[in-house]
Amino acid sequence: MKKNILKLILIITVVISFGGCYTILWSPDEQLPSGNNSSENSENIDQIYYSEPFYGDYNYYYGHPWWITRHPMYLPPTQNENVDKGNGVNTIRDNNTIRNNNGTRNTTDNNRPIINTGPPVKSSSNNNNDSSGSVSKTSSNNNNNSGEKTRASEGSRTNDDNSARNNNGSRNSGNGRK
Amino acid sequence: MYKNFCSNCSKVFAFLLICSSFAYPQGIPDALRLGESGLGANARALGMGNAYIGLSDDASAAYYNPAGLGLLKRLEFSGGIDYSTYNNNTTFFNNTSDYSNSTTRLDRLSFAFPFPTVRGSLVFGISYHNTKDFTGALKFDGFNNGNNSLIQVLNEATYYDNNGNPYNIPYDLGLNDSNLVTPINGHLNQSGTVLNSGSTNNWTFSGAIEAAQNLFLGLNLNIITGSYNSNNDYYEDDTQNYYQGAIATGESSPPIDFQTFNLNRVLNWDISGWSAKAGLMYQFNNYGRFGLTVQFPKYYTVKETFTVNGTSYFANAQYNLNQQDYSDNVKYDIVSPFEFGAGFSINYKGFIFSGEGTAIDYSQLKFDNPDGISAQDVGTINKDIKDQLGAVINYNVGVEYTIPEVGLRLRTGYFVQPSAYKGDPSSFNKKYFTAGIGILAQETLGLDLAWAHGWWSTIGDNYASNESRTYQDIKYDKIMLTATYRF
């Protein structure tokens, strides 16, 4: 039996030696691993093992490495959501909190669709003294900004008795249970 | 100490020398006490019937399957306490008695540290945990109508000290004459209590690495500490007035009308030792896990203190043993056998089903390195172990269901630890039903509570074989609370 165990240990050692160790440690002179590139396999597997639909918060409890910063939860925008582009954090605004032009709550037009407007365009002619008050400007330096709303960060959790039997040990005469 | 001894004592000595080694020998129960499996120290595992070899993914993996440590991704502090009760319903010559004992103890403190990795996993852990609970109790009271008694057994056993001075308990208690002849011939009421306590605990240093994708290897090294205490208080009473006359005939003022013989034996162990365990864990994506463990032999060193007090009561006298004469200090090793474990867990929609088996050949238990005990005695005990103990397979099953909306986990399990004695009926197997509950707060603090109820039968002899036997029905309950903080 002991020989078999030694053989097993030897086989495992040889397999690991030839294949190289799978684990790669982070070294201090490297940037600390972040969401997408660290522990690419084991982390994902563990998160899948305690998948969120069936294990809820245990998914994070078991699956998220401590050395990876946890990103905010990603929630796709819906028609009832507005998105703050500035800091990349998903800011959900209930329609009831949208202020109207008068600075008061809009309580009458809750289902009004959000209109995505393009970026201001600056005109190169600089002759936009349009009495119509149009804010449209065009510029040759215009960036290729499509004007679509985008998120600054897409980070989300998905990336992350002698011989006898005596009475309880007392010593007996030694002629016990055979 | 012998008070007076006969003129022809040399012949008696020659005979008794043969018997002396059987006076208070170590035995199979001592080896089994350390050799048998414990209940661990993790409420989640206990709630799932300790079927944890194929699941271990917390700091307690250091005990169940060191490879499971490799599954940790966050630092973990964990620990817990437990409360155990041991109830013994004993039948002794048609009389039944109930007796119980209980204990509360801190059962674990663990810390696990996963190193940051770019790929794979490397985790180290340190843990102090309880591995075995020696809490026990026994009470018996009944009239033995046979022609036997402990007095008679002790009358045939004489102990010699290093200077060759003989010691004989019945003689020192006035229960035989100078020729070591006693009129006591059974027909006594026998009663007593036994209270056991103590535990073994491990300081465990463990590590695990992901050696190939999804394949984890782990190893632990254990420093064992512990203690055991047994207090055995035994009485033989002449309740039916069989012995009204003089006991030690020929003496000038012999005691008459024997009434009571009491022997109190206290056994104390100071336990130390070491052991190692290797483990393997393979994770099949989200479907389940498979684990293997090899528990290498545990090397226990036992420093034993055995203290004996005795008293006899007669109508006209009372005798007391000199405690120094019959107390003893010895030292020896007990080596446990290899243990091979295999387990799995299956993950299905919030359910985790787990099972495992552990093979142990108890006939490989052995005493070793005696100090204060003759090598011949140790050889005899080891032969008895070979003859009377056999190989068993412990098996454990458990299930856990998580209610994700509230972070609540419900568990239940069942496991069996078969009797190590060859030929024992199945009622002698230790059977446990377990249940548990767990909650998670703030995604970092886990609390788990488990309850285990065990039941089995066993027997015990006060002396000899089946002459003064207790038939015991044991009920054992343990409540365990474990707190885990991950950050």
Q: Where are the domains of chain B?
A: 11-486
Please check whether residue B110 is in contact with residue B129, taking contact to mean a CB–CB distance below 8 angstroms. Answer: yes
Residue A11, min C-alpha distance to chain B (Å):
13
Residue A73, min C-alpha distance to chain B (Å):
14
| Chain B interface mutation, best of A14, A29, A157, A173, highest count of B Cβ atoms under 10 Å | A173
**Contact state of B349 with A173 under an 8 Å Cβ cutoff:** no
**Looking at B133-142, B176-185, B224-233, B477-486, which range is the least confident one?**
B176-185
**Contact state of A57 with B440 under an 8 Å Cβ cutoff:** yes
Residue B233 or residue A106, greater confidence: B233
Distance CA B304, CA B329 (A): 6
Tokens 């509360």, located at residue:
B104
Instruction: Please report residues of B whose CB lies closer than 8 A to that of A172.
Output: 27, 153, 461-464
How big is the A-B interface in CB pairs under 8 Å? Answer: 253
C-alpha B484, offset from chain centre: 29
Residue B445, min C-alpha distance to chain A (Å):
9
**Contact state of A174 with B25 under an 8 Å Cβ cutoff:** yes
Closest CA to B151 of B91, B235, B94: B235
Instruction: Please report residues of B whose CB lies closer than 8 A to that of A11.
Output: none
Q: What's the pLDDT tens digit per position in B90-121?
A: 999 999 999 999 999 999 999 999 998 888 88
Give the pLDDT confidence score for residue A23 in this predicted structure: 85
At B246, the pLDDT band (50, 70, 90 cuts) reads: confident
Is residue B214 within a helix (H) or strand (E), and if so which, with residue range? none
Give the pLDDT confidence score for residue A76 in this predicted structure: 55
Residue B130 or residue B2, greater confidence: B130
Residues B272-296: what's their mean pLDDT? 92
Tokens 């699956």, located at residue:
A63
Residues B123-147: what's their mean pLDDT? 94
Give the pLDDT confidence score for residue B320 in this predicted structure: 93
- Virtual torsion, Cα A38, A41, A42, A46, nearest 10 deg: 110
- Who's near B140: CB < 8 A, 6+ residues apart? A167, B90, B92, B95, B97, B190, B191, B192, B470
DSSP letter assigned to residue B248: S
Give the pLDDT confidence score for residue B79 in this predicted structure: 94
CA angle, B433 then B31 then B363, to 5°: 85
Give the pLDDT confidence score for residue A43 in this predicted structure: 47
**Looking at A138-142, B193-197, B421-425, which range is the least confident one?**
A138-142
3-class secondary-structure state, position B148: coil
**Contact state of A24 with B119 under an 8 Å Cβ cutoff:** yes
Residue A36, min C-alpha distance to chain B (Å):
10
Instruction: Please report residues of B whose CB lies closer than 8 A to that of A6.
Output: none
CATH 2.40.160.60 fits B11-486, yes or no: yes
Instruction: Please report residues of A whose CB lies closer than 8 A to that of B461.
Output: 161, 164-167, 172, 176-177
Strand ranges (DSSP E) for B68-163? 76-92, 95-114, 117-119, 122-133, 136-144, 159-160
- Who's near B11: CB < 8 A, 6+ residues apart? none
Give the pLDDT confidence score for residue B148 in this predicted structure: 94
List Cα–Cα distances, A85 to A71, A77, A147, A152, B474, in angstroms: 16, 12, 12, 7, 69
Q: What's the pLDDT tens digit per position in B330-352?
A: 999 999 999 999 999 999 988 99
For residue B221, pLDDT over 50 is answered with yes
Q: What is the 3-class SS of chain A, one letter each residue?
A: CHHHHHHHHHHHHHHHHHHCCCCEECCCCCCCCCCCCCCCCHHHHHHHHCCHHHHCCHHHHHHCCCCCCCCCCCCCCCCCCCCCCCCCCCCCCCHHHCECCCCCECCCCCCCCCCCCCCCCCCCCCCCCCCCCCCCCCCCCCCCCCCCCCCCCCCCHHHCCCCCCECCCCCCCCCCCC
**Contact state of A49 with B347 under an 8 Å Cβ cutoff:** yes
Residues B192-215: what's their mean pLDDT? 93
Nearest CA in chain A to B57: A62
- Who's near B40: CB < 8 A, 6+ residues apart? B46, B50, B52, B60, B63, B64, B129, B131
Q: What's the pLDDT tens digit per position in B376-403?
A: 889 999 999 999 999 999 999 999 999 9
At B373, the pLDDT band (50, 70, 90 cuts) reads: confident
Tokens 């006591």, located at residue:
B184
Is the confidence metric ipTM above 0.85 for this complex?
A: no
3-class secondary-structure state, position B334: strand
| Chain A interface mutation, best of B461, B470, B476, highest count of A Cβ atoms under 10 Å | B461
Proportion of chain B above pLDDT 90, given as a percent: 73
Instruction: Please report residues of A whose CB lies closer than 8 A to that of B306.
Output: 171
Question: What are B22's two structure tokens?
Answer: 């059987």
| Chain B interface mutation, best of A13, A24, A67, A171, highest count of B Cβ atoms under 10 Å | A171
Give the pLDDT confidence score for residue B439 in this predicted structure: 92
Give the pLDDT confidence score for residue B342 in this predicted structure: 95
Closest CA to B34 of B443, B433, B310, B385: B385
Instruction: Please report residues of A whose CB lies closer than 8 A to that of B25.
Output: 162, 171, 174
Q: What's the pLDDT tens digit per position in B299-332?
A: 999 999 999 999 999 988 899 998 888 888 999 9
pLDDT in tens, chain A (178 residues): 556 656 666 665 555 555 567 888 887 777 766 554 444 444 455 457 888 888 888 888 888 888 887 655 555 555 444 444 444 333 333 333 333 444 344 444 444 445 555 454 444 444 444 434 333 333 334 344 443 433 333 333 333 344 445 554 444 433 333 3
